[in-house]
Amino acid sequence: MSGPPIDGTEAGETAERDFLKVSGLRAGYGQARVLHGLDFSVARGEVCAVLGPNGAGKTTTLRALCGMIRGRGSVTLNGAELLGRSPEQAARLGVAHVPEGRGTFNELTVEENLRIGAHLRTRGRWRGRGERAAVAADLERIYEYFPKLRQRSRQAAGSLSGGEQQMLAIGRALMLRPALLLLDEPSLGLAPLVTRELFEIVRTVNQEERTTVVVVEQNAQLALDIAHQAHVLEAGRLVLSGSAAQIREDGQVAEVYLGVPARSGQGG
Amino acid sequence: MSTLTDLLQQVVEGIGSGAVYASLALALVLIHRFTGIVNFAQGELAMLSTYVAWQLMASGMPFWLALPVTLAVSFVGGMLVERLVIRPVQGAPELTVVIVTVGLFIFVNAAAGLIWSFTVKAFPQPFPDGGIDLAGVRMDWSTVGIIGVVAVVMGLLYLLFQHTSIGLVMRAVACNPESARLSGIRVSRVLMLGWGLAATVGAVSGVLVAPVLFLEPNMMGGVLIYAFAAATLGGFDSPVGAVVGGLFVGVAETLAGAYVDVIGPDLKVGVPLVIILAVLLVRPQGLFGRAAVERA
Amino acid sequence: MRSMTAVLDRTRHGRFALAALLAAAVAMAVPFYFAPFQVFQLTMVLVYAVALAGLNLLVGFGGQISLGHGAFFAAGAYTAAIMLDRFDTGHLATLPVAAAACFLLGLGFGVPALRLRGLYLALVTLSLAVFLPPLLKRLEAVTGGSMGLTVEKPQPPAWSGLAEDQWSYFVVLAVSAVALLVARNLLRSRVGRALLAVRDNESAAEVMGVRLSLHKTFAFAWSAMFAGVAGCLYTWVIGFVSPDSFSFVLSITLLAGLVVGGLASLYGPLLGAAFVMYVPSVAQDLSEAAPGVVFGLLIIAVMFVAPTGLAGLASRAGGAVARRRAGAAASDRSSVAEPPPESTSEPSAPRTPVDPESVEAEPVGAPPRTEKE
């Protein structure tokens, strides 16, 4: 998995730069191949946006990363291979996936949803006296990020609005203390104002907790606003990679692949 | 005896049999919540558990020791059924899974006949003879005992689901298995647990009803129909509904048998059919069910 | 390429016609080469085949489940028996009446049961199957109660020179042949295609404008009608009906036979009927419980390894042979039952042996029906 032995600092730097390393990722559903070999890396603590038109394979990429579908090639997180693992195993390695459509536990209360997020931390190798207190502290922290959730902590998740459910889904994922947070179309079906608020919180979380984030978005402008790196996916292949600024400046690319007129004053 | 005390007498007896239906209905509802399917073999698994209890007692074990052993065996048995019979068709269309449970029904029924024969066996009554007299309404200790045992089971289940972390995990899996997996929950283990739990709760109904119906491989067939009616009435997703539905069906059955001449004891088995049809026509989600019954 | 398929098509048609002719010849010859009891058994196979063909419409093609087809079978049988016993109508008249009665009965129970998920149909039919025998016992004045009714079997006309069992066989053969053809044509009609659409994807079918509950209800009614026709034939052949012949076990046995024979296959009902007829009579020699053990295990095994049943196995084997001969992928998997229960939900399972490299690419955004991209 790792290359020839090299000196400590260099290896350390590589590990930082290739915190998430995707090589030759191929995946699909049954006979239908969707991804045809993706290669990209995400450095520790960075936000990576994956953009592209509908059906390009964005969601499939995330699903392969978290073990919801099988993928081929190699995906390592901090050196550990993710492919070939089930979602529960991936979660144990620190991958928290917020699926499209949020996937909240609608019959459970908001607080129960969050506690389920921390389920892994109170058992197995993490179990310990300190961890219970840490979970309680994290719950408090999530409520600070999302004050609306605190107000509704005893309410069933199903009774929340779409935006609140998305917040809850992200909150639940954060309760895992993830090494890697995967966000699938967080803006889907939400009002623009709510979406912007949500992305601001993701940015804050990323800055404060140094959580590495891969976000898949249709709304390229929003995603690029919070991302460090970005990749454009088309028909299962990466057609463009670069820093968020580069992608945003590439007017033609933006127009062709993202369907947004470049820098047309949209968003603000 | 006045007509009123007579009526109350019938109601008490109805609650007694209703408690049995409630516990089997509860087992059905548990599995339905976890897997979205109805386990047609639930009654037969309960019958099998009852034979285990009978076998233990036949080898000299007292009832109150045989009961916990039987429940433990049922728990393990339920988990094994999930692992060996249900897991292989997990994710297959609902029809496939239902047919598998029907196959299990036929197999367990016949296997019990093969092992223990189809002759009727007497099953000891664990509760003392006699009873209490409340203003002319007689309540046998056996009725009191059945209601008490079922109430204890409900209470334990409530505690398990509402006040333990494993209960919370189980509810999460029942609600959204995919998200549960993404949160690191080993869903397949939880499903095994759910089947074990359901088999245990079902076993309680079998052991309680055996002294009344006598033990034979087809003992639970009728009870299963009543439990279906109870679960339909209460809502297939509602444990509380299963209990209320069970009691209602028990009382309705007893009253219909006693007061409606056309029905009489032989046609009582038509009561669940009527209840199921009526619920489907009037309130298809059941009394306590959620409005959206359709599950993907 | 096109002419090649045309040739293949024509030979397939030719072969089908040949096979049908051969089958007809064998069917006609059978009663002259077997002992009366064996002829009786074959007659019963045909009777069950009609019931299973009806059940197949519902379960195999409609994707709904009935645990109470024995009740409709009983209703058909009793309709015929009562007409013969009380009104002396003659055999032929009982057939349409039994069919119509069961069709209406199916419609009556289908309307409430099929407004929602198919699950409730299973519950309602199961309760019905359990309720019917005591009801029949109670209605003693008409049904003869527990004693049942004994009626005359159809008598062979003098010109034929046939024995009673042979005549019964031919009568049943004629009726069941027509019934099986009707079932086949129903499936090829608009109704059949709508049913398949519903089974394969309910919500999509609904979006496409298939009137779901209507089609499901009619499928159920048709299916009940076939069971009723089979019941009517049963009365003709046996000449006796009693409540205990139509216990809940009959319903379960019918479903078991269909599953083992092959869901959603045109030949499945025939194979299944042979199962329903012969397995109990063979296994019963071992023990009273043996048929149940065999059926139970077979049902589960079939669902695990071959959801298309015996007929599916046969056509798969046939398909493999044809493929080898033609050197082309046989599209002959006419049996359209559920996909095998792959454990797609278990990513830790071994990877599919199909090498994705060889798969033609680019069906982007068109994943199979159960999963979203």
Using the Cβ of B169 and the Cβ atoms of chain A, whether some distance falls under 8 Å is answered with yes
Q: How far apart are CA A37 and CA C357, in angstroms?
A: 11
Contacts of A232 (CB under 8 A, 6+ apart): A51, A52, A238, A239, A240, A241, A247, A253, A257, A258
Q: From chain A, which residues contact C within 8 Å (Cβ)?
A: 26, 28-34, 36, 54-57, 59-60, 67-70, 72, 84-87, 89, 100, 235-236
Beta strands in chain C, from DSSP E residues, in sequence order? 149-150, 240-241
- Distance (Å, whole) CA C119 – CA B31: 14
To which residue do tokens 């046996």 refer? C238
Is C126's CB within 8 Å of B222's CB?
Answer: no
Mean pLDDT of B150-176: 91
Do C347 and A70 count as a contact with CB atoms less than 8 A apart?
A: yes
Q: What percent of chain B has pLDDT over 90?
A: 54
What is the per-residue pLDDT for C346? 34
What would the pLDDT profile of A199-218 be if each residue is shown by its tens digit? Answer: 999 999 899 888 999 999 88
Is the pLDDT assigned to residue C364 strictly greater than 70? no
The pLDDT score that the predictor gives to residue C247 is: 84
Say whether residue B260 is in contact with chain C using an 8 A CB cutoff: no
**Euclidean distance between CA atoms B185 and B183, whole angstroms:** 6
Q: Any CB–CB contact under 8 A between B96 and chain A? A: no
Distance set, CA C265 to CA C11, C52, C220, C316 (Å): 21, 11, 18, 12
Tokens of A17: 């730069």
Report the percentage of chain B scoring pLDDT > 70.
Answer: 97
ipTM entry? 0.87
* Amino acid at residue number B90: Q
Is B118's Cβ below 8 Å from some Cβ in C? yes
Q: Which of B185-199, C21-35, C80-94, C231-245 has the lowest mean pLDDT?
A: C21-35
Average of per-residue pLDDT values in chain B: 89
> What's the confidence (pLDDT) of residue C372?
35
The reply to whether residue B38 touches residue C290, judged by beta carbons under 8 angstroms, is no
The 10s digit of each residue's pLDDT in B51-82 is 999 999 999 999 999 999 999 999 999 999 99
Q: How far apart are alpha carbons C307 and C336 in whole angstroms?
A: 10
The residue among C245 and C13 whose pLDDT is bigger is C245
Task: Identify the closest residue of chain B to C135 by CA–CA distance.
Answer: B267
Residue A35: pLDDT above 50? yes
User: Using the beta-carbon criterion (under 8 Å), do B184 and A92 form an inter-chain contact?
Assistant: yes
Banded pLDDT at C314 (limits 50, 70, 90): low
Question: Diameter of chain A by CA atoms?
Answer: 56
CA distance A213 to A227: 9
Q: Assign C355 a pLDDT band (cuts: 50, 70, 90).
A: very low
Greater pLDDT, B249 or C304: B249
Host H or E run for residue A216: strand A212-216
pLDDT of A12: 67
Q: Does the pLDDT value for residue C36 go beyond 80?
A: no
Q: Has residue C285 got a pLDDT over 80?
A: no
β-strands B131-134, A20-29 pairing: unpaired
CA distance C207 to chain B (A): 15
Q: What residues of A are in contact with residue C361 (Cβ under 8 Å)?
A: 33, 36, 236
Which of C361, C367, C368 is facing A36, going by the closest CB pair? C361
Q: Is B109 in Cβ contact with C303 (below 8 Å)?
A: no
pLDDT average, residue stretch A29-41: 86
**Mind listing the pLDDT tens digit for each residue in A233-242?**
888 888 888 8
**Tens digits of residue pLDDT in C325-351:** 554 333 333 333 333 333 333 333 333
What pLDDT, on the 0 to 100 scale, is given for residue C85?
Answer: 81
Residue B4, phi then psi, degrees to nearest 5: -70, -45
pLDDT of the residue at C90: 79
- Reduce the DSSP state of residue C150 to 3 states and report it: strand
Tell me the chain C residues in contact with residue B218 when contact means C-beta distances shorter than 8 Å: none
Lowest mean pLDDT among B80-94, C182-196, C228-242: C182-196
Residue holding tokens 């984030």?
A213
Of C134, C296, C346, the CB nearest to B267: C134
Per the document, the length of chain C is: 373
- Percent of chain A at pLDDT > 70 equals 85
Subunit contact B225:C126, Cβ cutoff 8 A: yes
- Pairwise pLDDT comparison (B133 vs C286), residue with the higher score: B133
CA distance C278 to C285: 12
Could you tell me if B228 and B239 are in contact, meaning their C-beta atoms sit under 8 angstroms apart?
Answer: no
> What are the chain C neighbours of A64 within 8 Å (beta carbons)?
none
Contact B222 C112 (CB under 8 A): no
Among candidate residues A74, A18, A73, A83, the one with its CA nearest the CA of residue A44? A18
In C139-261, where does DSSP find H-type helix?
140-143, 164-188, 190-200, 202-207, 212-238, 248-261
Mean pLDDT across A161-180? 91
C-beta atoms of C127 and B272 within 8 A: yes
Determine the pLDDT at residue B2.
73
Q: pLDDT tens-digit profile of B91-126? A: 777 778 888 999 999 999 999 999 998 889 999 888
Cβ distance of C255 and B99 shorter than 8 Å: yes
Q: What is the pTM of this model?
A: 0.82
Average pLDDT over residues B146-170: 91
